[in-house]
Amino acid sequence: MLDTLCASGSQRRFYERPVAYASAHSLTADSPGVERENVTLFRAQCPLADLTINRMQSFATTLGSGKRTAKTVENVLLTLSAILTSARKWGCKLPEVALSDLSLPRKVKARPRSYSADEMALIVSSADEPLGTVCFVLCATGMRIGEVLALRTEDLDFQRRLIHVRSSVYAGKLGTPKSEASIASLPMPPVLATRLKTFLASKHFRQNDINLLFADRRGRPFSANKLREKKLRPLLLSLGIALAGFHAFRHGVATTLIDRGASITTVGAQLRHSDPRITLGLYAHVVPQSQRDAIEGLASAISSGQLLTEGRIADSAAEKSFVS
């Protein structure tokens, strides 16, 4: 593997900054100085002057053949490009090779981590308050954690069974939600209404000057990061659930809704995405129950010979109609 960028020489100050940047991306300088004329790629022993587009492409292909992500490969090549650019400024005659001339590994977006319906139920039933109710609001609405932590008691409309999303918490401070589309009213399921009323009547609800539903001991909004690290993650470890953050509830809600037959439009409205294409892009991999039912019905019909029998009956009916 071409992991190390080796260099030698006396003009160290010329390359200090590029090589320092290279070190942050799995590239290191083995020798104390850097020579203007002869920076070489480890194991390739390729002088700078010989770095043609074919050699650069070979280097990029080798980098991408391992476990490195496309972003890491891009960073390594950008580092090398910075060194070459600096070398040209110092008068080195080097071939011009742009990243756009190279074929880079395709960037594959990782699927978002989501809790399953069973995991969400286990977390809610096992968590202490106020984490239990916080998680239940996340599960029952698909709201973002910042929006939940910013809820005030006046945002809860028990008569019309609505939750009004008007604010969000960032770094422990109240602010506006992520986008204009995020400001909306969401349905409050009866079981959630019951849970919220129970919480408000319990000792876990802390009265505070700004009427927060969930307030810390100082009457301020909880920090999502601290709540995750000090409460959620220890709980996940104790339950044997793979570590994830609060946003995995939102993804879990969307995945479960689609899996149970909800349309992309319905899920997008609940998550308050500004464009249905965002929802489709995030959850296109989820197979809805309606699709499962349809394909299972087809497979069962083929397996039992039902389609063959139906075909013969149809042919027989057609023949009788023709004779008559």
pLDDT, one tens digit per residue, over 19-70 is 333 333 333 333 333 333 333 443 345 666 667 778 778 877 877 776 777 7
Of 142, 91, 125, 106, give the one whose Cα is nearest residue 249. Answer: 142
Which among 26-30, 60-64, 99-103, 147-151 has the top mean pLDDT? 147-151
The residue to which tokens 């590029």 are assigned: 18
The CATH architecture annotation of domain 117-248 reads Orthogonal Bundle (1.10)
Confidence class for position 274, pLDDT limits 50, 70, 90:
confident
Which amino acid makes up residue 274? S
Number of residues in the chain: 324
Q: Where do we find the tokens 């892009």?
A: 281
**Averaged confidence pLDDT in the chain:** 78
The answer for residues whose C-beta is within 8 angstroms of residue 150's C-beta and 6 or more apart is 166, 167, 168, 169, 174, 175, 212, 221
